[in-house]
Every structure is written in structure tokens, then in C-alpha cells.
Chains A and B, each alone.
Chain A
Amino acid sequence: MTLKDAETGSTVRIDSVGESKLKNRLMTMGLIPGTRVEILRSAPMGDPIAIRLRSYNLAMRKHDAEQIQVSKIS
């Protein structure tokens, strides 16, 4: 499953960040394999999405979330 498809309100664990131009920045912001991520909400037009990791909130576009492989925890 990708982060884009993860349900709002669910918590997932990152399996891989995937290859993209943003990879380096995503990792710098703390999206490392093994990190727990909670999906908080999406913007009114459905995109971007807001997630919580390492006790802070981060917004990203669905297009970028699609590169990130995750598995569901709860």
C-alpha cells in the first residue's frame, strides 16, 4: 500500500520512501523506513494531505505520497 491510499485516521509504518526528486528532503523531514505516520486529514479539495510523524504535522501532495510504501499498523 502507498501512503496516498492509507485511510484518514489510520496509523502506518513506512516501508520505503521510493525513488523521487523529493526523496532526500522527505528523509530529512524524518520519513525514514520504520517511522510511524498517522494520516490526519486532506485539504478541502482532497489534495494535499496532512500527516503526523515524530510529534509534528507535515503536509504533502498526494502525487508525492504515492511514492511512499507503507503498511498499516492500526
Chain B
Amino acid sequence: MSALAVALTGNPNTGKSTIFNELTGAHQKIGNWPGVTVDKKVGYVTYKDRTISVIDLPGTYSINAHSQEEIVVSDYFKENKPDIVVNILDASNISRNLFLTVQLMENGIPLIINLNMMDEAQRQGIKINEKELEKCFGMPVTNTVGRSNKSVKVLLDVFTETRMSDYHPSEMMQAHIDKVNQIKASGMSAEKIDEEVIAARYDFIDKVMSQAVTTEHIGNTFSDKLDSWLANGFQSLVIMFALFYLLFQFTFNWVGQPLADLLGDFLTGDLVDWAKEAMEEAGVADWMQSLVADGVLAGVGAVVGFVPLIFTLFFCLSFLDGTGYMARVAFVLDPIMRRAGLSGKSIMPLIMGFGCGVPAIMAARGMDTNKDRMISVLITPFLTCNAKVPIMALFAAMFFPDNAADIVFAMYFVGLAIAIIAAKILSQTAFKSEPSTFLLELPPYRMPAMKTVLLETWDKGKGYLVKAGTIIFAMTVMIWFLSSFNSDGMTEDMDQSYLASIGSATSVLFAPQGFDTWEAGAAVVTGVMAKEAVVSTMGILYGIGDDVSTEVEDADDTASQFMATSMAAAFTPLSALAFMVFTQLYSPCVTALGTVKKETQSWKWMAFTFIYTCSVAWIISMLVYQVGRILGFE
């Protein structure tokens, strides 16, 4: 027997993904619908010797094709005829949830109506007569309790035992469909037709509600009480920012980063040493040793080193999202963020961007519209990530010893200000046609299902390794090649390599910024591999060696080491400032670029990110230098 094809569809916040995860467990594949920033989730389960393939369609309120998600669902049903379509409804919110059900029925899609969150509905005084509901639609009705594994397994019996050909739309349903067809044939304007059809659907729903649902009002719910604290009044802002602070600390200082450092030390330290020793003993050629140690292993390190950060952050974000709190974040911050052409939820990538751009860019997937997702991805590179801090700390300590902290702070500010300006410009140019609207469901607070949180976290890490990892790895090996070879073959000295030639060719570009030395040019080029490489490249090129400390606490010591070299004379305070501004704003590292490609599904947007950040950095740093000179600074 061939696999039974099941499609899950429903509104957002109905617990659809939790049901999908309970059904398929780890046997699922997260991909991407072609050309859009929407996840495509497919899973398999074997039950009573039958293979059942389950597709989790994106959550939508309708199939009106107003958003990417709606287009995905609408196109899916045009092109596919799954054996079973399950429409998952939040029983506590049945009236609005039925809108999609009615619309699917109009499109001739037979479906199983599954009432989820029945326990929650009962607590809210909502009683649903399943037999009546079945009669109203002529379709089978089942129910599940959100997180109960057992009740979800019952669905498998339903899938294997239900023959959809036994079910036909009820008379009442058919009458509604006829009415919709009449409206569509009435010759009114398309807009008017849409509105009449929507009104007719709710007419039908109101009829269903009066036949199959009784609601008794029971005062304020727990969610309402919580919302009076978390979504209203000044203290809601305080609580929110305290939570962001904890989230940031957890990811970048307490758990994520320490784990990443351990892993990084192992990959670029112990592992490289062992590999070198082993290869030495085996008599492997020098170039091969270098390829393995500095190319391949460094590439693996560049990819894998970020995984602990991604796991930690997405564990927290997925948990928060599951509770329903992220909708409150969007609600509370909307008036501030909309001024910059962003939505409230864009605060997450913006805050996380101060730690590391890679998870920040990935966090954009949680936004509600394509416009929000794209703008969040494109502005994150301007922020001061952890790897840029050593550059700022070193240059500030060297050239502005009296007010180093102020200068570093100013760099943070420049990054944030440019990010906000870029968001504003992008929202009014490249994404102008996509409306910036705000109409957001505030779902009740819920305890997220741990299985779903863990699976989502795992998928984020896996998706990053598979999709972004290959690109990042390839770019790292390429940079290894450029820094270890010249036209005569392999070279020990980086300052004889292709990279140095590229660096000196590049440096010509920086005459208007006052730092047109080839060392600065080469550091800028290696900085694209990883921002940490800017300081270490300068260490090599100015003859301090390749073990320069990039710890911020050591910035003063490192600065005095550099002051003893020709670097002290290579920059003036003004050109140093221009260099800091440039490195603050220019292209993100290859890891971030690979992540941009993964998230936007487009090489074009990755190339755009590289070119536009470099252009913005070049222009702003030139302005700093030139205006500074006019004002009499040096």
C-alpha cells in the first residue's frame, strides 16, 4: 500500500505544530517552501504497518493569498490532493477558527475537523456538541487535548480508518457554497465580492455556533489577569526589558557563549594540535598539513563554534514564543518600532545582534510578515556583535586613551543608529509595496510543550549546520587558500600571500578614509572571515605574532604592544576613528553571510547584504574622516 498522505492545516496558535510533533516525533524534515521565507515541515510515522506522511502547512487565518503563508497553503491545495486534510481548530476560539474551515470547504476540500484544546475551551465555559458540528458540515469531527500524547495517537486511528469519500458536504454547507457562487457571479467589483463572501461565511458560522456551541461567560481568565501586568502599564516595559537582559546574559555570558568557547578551544586548539602531530609523524606534505589544520579544521570550527549559541538562544525563544509572550512583546513595542519601519517582534533580532549576528538573523524567521523578516535580516549586520568589540576596544585604547570607553560606546550607538535608519529606508524603498500593518492575535498564555520546544531548537541548529554550514565552510577554505598561497605556490608569510596582494589592492579604496595602508586593507579582508581576525591579522602584519589577545580586558596591554610597532604611526586618531566606523558597519562575517543566504533563500540578497553594508560603511567612514579634517581634527 502506498503511503497515506495527510495534511495539517489551521490557524496560528491552535497547537497544530505540537500535534505534528507528537505524531511524527524526530522523523521530520524542515525545509523551505520555494522562494519564500516560510518553513516547510514534513514528517513520517508508521502505524499498523502503514506509512503515513504528514505535512504541517503554515498556520493561516484564511487562504486569501494576502501573505506568503496564505499563498503557500492556497497553492498547496491547488497542486496537491492529499488523502486526508485535517483542519485543526482551537476549540476555545472556535468561531474565528471556523472561517478557514468554511473557506476550505468552499474550495471543495473534504476535511476532518479536529477540535484541539478542548480542556481550555471547557475552562472558558465553551461547550461544543460534536455530533451537531458534524451535521452542520457533513464532515467527521474529532477532538484532542493540546499536549496529551494519548489523545494525539487517537488521530492515527482516525487517519487510517476514515474514508473521506464517505463524507459529503451537508445541505446547509451546500446552500452556503451556492450562495457564495451567486455572489461571485453577481458582477460586483472584486473588492465588494470579497467582502460579501466574508460576511456570508460569518453568517454561516453564526448559524453553526447557535446549533452546536453554547458559551457561558465566566469572568476574567488567567490570561487577562496576567495581561494587566505584562501588556499594560509602565511595569510591563520594565518586566520586558528585564527579561531581555536575562535572555541576553543566558545566551552570551552564562551558557551559550561559554559552551561555544569550550567547543572553539577544542576545535581550533587540541584537535588542530593532534591533527598536526599525527600528520607530522605520517610525513604528510606541508601544504596538506596546512589545508587540514588551517583550512578544513578552521572551517569546521567557524561553522560548529556557533552551534551552542544557536541552541541556547532558540531554546529560550521557542519557549517564550510557546507561552504566547512574544505576541505581547509585539503589542507593547509596536509604537516605538513602527517609527523605524519595523514591528514589535523585530526587537529580538535587534537585541541579539549585539551578541552575535548569526542567531539574530535566524531569529528573524519568527516575525509575522515577510517584510519584517527581510528588514530584520538586512539591518542586523550593522550592530556591534561580540566579535567587533575587541577591534573597538583596541583602537580606542591606542588612539583615544583618555576617553576610550566613550569612543566604544559611540561605536555601539553608530551601529544602532545606522541599523534604524537602514530599516526606515528599506521599508520605504525595497519593501514599500508590502504594507506595514498590525493586526495581531493575543493568544492565551500557555505552558509550551517541551517536545515542541526541543524539536524546534534542534531543527534550528540542524538547519544552520546543513544549509549555512556548507557555504561557510567553503568560504573559510577559500580564505585559507588566499592567505597561504601566492603565484609561486605556498607561502609561510601571510604578507606574501594573495591575501596581502588583495589587501594592498583594496587599501587604495581607503584613501578618502585616511587608512590606505596595505595592512589595514588586509585586516579588512580577513575580517570578512571573522571579525576576530581583524586584530589578529594586524598582530601578524605588524610583527607582534599571531597570538595577540582579543580579550577586551587585555585591550590596554594589547594596545601598548601595538603602540611599539609602526601601527602607531600608520593611523592618526581621526583615521583610526574612520577605521573603527568602517569595521563597525561593513560586511558581516562569512558565517553571517551564509546565514543570510539560508534565511532569505537567495544568493541575490546575500550579495546585496555584502555590497550595501560595504557601501554604507565606506560612505560613513569617509564622512567621518573628511568632515573631521574640515573641523580641524587629525
Contacts and interface: CB of A to CB of B under 8 A. Distances in A.
Of the four ranges (under 10, 10 to 19, 20 to 34, 35 or more), the interface on chain A belongs to: 20 to 34
Interface in A25-58: 25-30, 32-33, 35, 40-48, 50, 54-58
A52 B626 CA distance: 57
B126 A55 contact: yes
Nearest to A54: B95
B93 interface: yes
Contact of A60 (B64, B191, B332, B439): B439
B200 to A, nearest CB: 10
A49 to B, nearest CB: 9
Contacts of B442: 50, 57-59
Contacts of A26: 439
Interface in B430-488: 435, 437-444
Chain B interface helix/strand/loop/mixed: helix
B435 A21 contact: yes
A11 to B, nearest CB: 11
Interface of A: 21-30, 32-33, 35, 40-48, 50, 54-61, 64
B412 to A, nearest CB: 24
B237 interface: yes
Contacts of B199: 27, 32-33
A19 B195 CA distance: 11
Which of B198, B199, B223, B224 neighbours the largest number of chain A CB atoms within 10 Å of its CB? B198
B77 to A, nearest CB: 17
Given A24-B195, A27-B198, A58 B237 contact: no
Contacts of A57: 223, 227, 441-444
30 contacts: A21-B435, A22-B437, A24-B64, A24-B195, A27-B195, A28-B61, A28-B99, A29-B439, A30-B95, A30-B99, A33-B199, A40-B224, A43-B236, A43-B331, A43-B335, A44-B332, A45-B335, A50-B227, A54-B95, A55-B215, A56-B93, A56-B441, A57-B443, A58-B441, A59-B327, A59-B330, A59-B331, A59-B440, A64-B437, A64-B439
Contacts of B66: 24-25
Contacts of A61: 334, 438
B232 interface: yes
A29 B61 contact: yes
A29 B234 CA distance: 29
B96 A24 contact: no
B114 to A, nearest CB: 18
B87 interface: no
B334 A47 contact: yes
B619 interface: no
Given A44-B232, A50-B231, A60-B438, 9 more contacts: A28-B198, A29-B441, A33-B199, A40-B227, A56-B96, A57-B227, A57-B441, A59-B330, A61-B438
B439 A22 contact: yes
Nearest to A46: B335
A19 B232 CA distance: 29
B441 A21 contact: no
B9 interface: no
A73 B124 CA distance: 22
Contacts of B95: 30, 54-55
B134 interface: no
A62 to B, nearest CB: 9
Contacts of B437: 21-22, 25, 64
